[in-house]
Amino acid sequence: MSQSIGVGTSCRLDGFLESCAKATWTEPLWYAAIEFFRSQGFTSICYQHLPPLGAPDEDKIRVAASGYDEAWSRRYIAEKMYRTDPIPAQAVSAEEPFRWGDIRKLREMTKPELRILELLESRGGDGLAIPAFGPGGRNGYFGLGLSDPERSIGRAEMSRHQLACQAAHLRYCRLLRQNLPEMPLLSTRERELLGWVARGKSNNVIAEIMQISPHTVDAYLRRVFYKLGTTDRISAVVKAIGSGLIRGY
């Protein structure tokens, strides 16, 4: 009997992964996620898309929710509670999913985070916090509310849910990218120079490494600043990393 349950779950996961791969816009992707996670015993789902600092949409956290009280969902978004909600914050710094109820053991919280947590706890219930990771630090969070707060979830099942969340997040990243402003093109030399700036090298040191004059380094930097719409080294590096123009390592 347990074997047949495992096969059925595997088939449903395969079907969801196929739906993710075929999605050509975000609405069918979201509905597929809702349907899949409901089939897995979750009554609510929340997804937060977290752009990296420096990305064209860095100030736009996208939140979608299903199965929650409508008034609560509106309040959560209107009051921007997602900016101080400790559960998503902890999730994106973790490698593995965790239960909402374990957050106090996992994180030393600020006062604003505690206020949000107390509001969440007053609503009762439990669920899973699942991190999802994307290109260039474009990460995401899935909150999956359990129909039975006492339900035990093993490591293998956790991994399946994380795989599903990761697939949905990566597909969303790809679909979203089509609507983001195009970033300016940097030449190979400009990217190399900015990479050394990101590593904290001074103009003189960069000149030695690249075997060019400090004056040329300065000229390259000014050109990079102009292309990126920045006026200083730190802002240029942050924007370049967040937009995937250079690597942060």
- How large is the average pLDDT for residues 16-37? 96
Q: Is the pLDDT of residue 5 over 50?
A: no
Q: What dotted CATH number matches 2-177?
A: 3.30.450.80
Using the predicted structure, report yes or no on whether residue 170 has a pLDDT greater than 90: yes
- Write down the pLDDT at residue 50: 94
- Span 186-224, pLDDT tens digits: 999 999 999 999 999 999 999 999 999 999 999 999 999
Average pLDDT, the chain: 90
CATH of 188-242, one of 3.30.499.10, 1.10.10.10, 3.90.1200.10, 3.40.50.2300: 1.10.10.10
Backbone angles phi, psi at 80, to 5 degrees: 50, 45
pLDDT at 3: 32
Does residue 8 have a pLDDT over 70? no
- Amino acid identity of residue 156, one-letter, is A
Percent pLDDT > 70 in the chain is: 95
Q: Where are the domains of the chain?
A: 2-177, 188-242
Predicted TM-score (pTM) of the model is 0.82
Res 120 pLDDT > 50: yes
* pLDDT for residue 6: 43
